[in-house]
Amino acid sequence: MELHYPGKSGILDILNGPKASFPTHFNTEKNALLEGDNLPIMRTLLDSPLRFDLCYIDPPFATGHSFRSSTHRSATISKSNADAVAYNDFVKGAEFIEFIRQRAIVIRELLSDNGSFYLHIDYKIGHYVKVILDEIFGTENFRNDITRIKCNPKNFRRNAYGNIKDMILFYTKSRNFLWNEPTSPLNDAEIFRLFKKIDAHGRRYTTVPVHAPGETQHGPTAQAWKGLYPPKGRHWRTSPDELDQLDNNGFIEWSSTGNPRRIIYADEHQGKKIQDIWDFKDPAHPGYPTEKNLALLRLIINASSNAGSHVLDCFAGSGTTLLASALSGRRWVGIDQSATAIKAIENKLHTCPALTEKPDFQYLKAQ
């Protein structure tokens, strides 16, 4: 399936188009803040040894608005009042889709073989972007459409349901992608519901069977343990030797009728799997328009990159991704064409109290 529209260019033309140059040497060993249009800059990066384990982008959403910096109550202004503009979001329709497509094609080339791509977008244009990303990354590499709750419910005046979410499309370059399973801790109600028993030391626990479905005729998990065989149609979860070890270490509870069960302690629980609906509201009074939630970026970065990985945000805005990368010990490259964004990024990196070391990066303006 493909999306057809006028002005859809060939992949080779996109990759081989004009490149950016920099006034001084671009040291790829350092973190980098690059000012200019991301497409020619990323083509230049293709010639470098840099490859990224993660790229997150939060591009314009084809809203038709102009966005201005902090001092005013509303983030949007009319086209005529352009003094405080941080960036314009005037490209719409097929032209917008092609704008995103060209960048996504180059981004895919810049990813490492086990790299990931997250694209933040809204419900109005996001479904067209999904079709385009399926073309570029392949449907087999589409991982999630994450629903992000972006604000508290509002009394929208139009006759429709209130919109409180946007979407984050998550793709990987291949099946073998870098993944650090993120979890969230159980809350008190869940702990009380799932771990009803309390041991002699006051630790909450529950028990689970030591056998699992599926009969095996041979091998250790089919053998007798302490004179017991697994029930019909089941096998021991671990070998009798390992069951002995668990029992010796106090992890088996025996019922009065001699039925063994494995003890699981609440304080050793690894946490819940994170699902695909996220509640990360953006700052109520952003310093930069459409500034994203830092905790959201920290989750993505910790799940889809490792310490020392390179992370790219080529629509960097106020640098939320760059700060989150620095906080998690990742290397980063940020690109933005707005001088206001570059100032906001420098400010964010230099004033964050949680950053224990002074951020070390090179700034280059593309020519």
Ligand X SMILES: C[S@@+](CC[C@H](N)C(=O)[O-])C[C@H]1O[C@@H](n2cnc3c(N)ncnc32)[C@H](O)[C@@H]1O
Which residues of the chain form contacts with ligand X (CB under 6 A)?
37-38, 58-60, 87, 288, 290-292, 315, 317-318, 320, 335-338, 341
> For residues 41 and 111, which CB has a smaller minimum distance to ligand X in the complex?
41
> For residues 210 and 341, which CB has a smaller minimum distance to ligand X in the complex?
341
Closest contact distance (angstroms) between CB of 318 and ligand X is 3
Dihedral over alpha carbons 361, 362, 366, 367 (to 10 degrees): 180
> For residues 58 and 134, which CB has a smaller minimum distance to ligand X in the complex?
58
Helix count and strand count (H, E) for the chain: 9, 20
> For residues 59 and 115, which CB has a smaller minimum distance to ligand X in the complex?
59
Which amino acid, residue 128?
Answer: Y
Closest contact distance (angstroms) between CB of 107 and ligand X is 12
Closest contact distance (angstroms) between CB of 228 and ligand X is 58
Q: How far apart are CA 308 and CA 305, in angstroms?
A: 8
Phi, psi of 228 (to 5 degrees): -110, 145
> For residues 50 and 85, which CB has a smaller minimum distance to ligand X in the complex?
85
Q: How far apart are CA 301 and CA 179, in angstroms?
A: 10
Closest contact distance (angstroms) between CB of 354 and ligand X is 16
Closest contact distance (angstroms) between CB of 163 and ligand X is 17
Closest contact distance (angstroms) between CB of 51 and ligand X is 20
Closest contact distance (angstroms) between CB of 120 and ligand X is 7
Q: Under 8 Å CB-to-CB from 232, ≥6 apart: which residues? A: 215
8 Å CB contact between 55 and 313? yes
Q: Please return the burial class of 40, using the count of CB atoms within 10 Å of its CB with bins 0-12, 13-18 and 19+.
A: middle
Q: Under 8 Å CB-to-CB from 41, ≥6 apart: which residues? A: 20, 34, 314, 335, 366
> For residues 272 and 350, which CB has a smaller minimum distance to ligand X in the complex?
350
Closest contact distance (angstroms) between CB of 108 and ligand X is 17
Residue nearest to ligand X (CB): 317
> For residues 53 and 291, which CB has a smaller minimum distance to ligand X in the complex?
291
- Residue 118 is classified by DSSP as E
> For residues 101 and 211, which CB has a smaller minimum distance to ligand X in the complex?
101
- Residue 285 is classified by DSSP as S
Which amino acid, residue 357?
Answer: E
Q: In 3D, which of 106, 123, 125, 118 has the Cα closest to residue 54?
A: 118
8 Å CB contact between 55 and 314? yes
Rg of the chain on CA atoms, in Å = 26
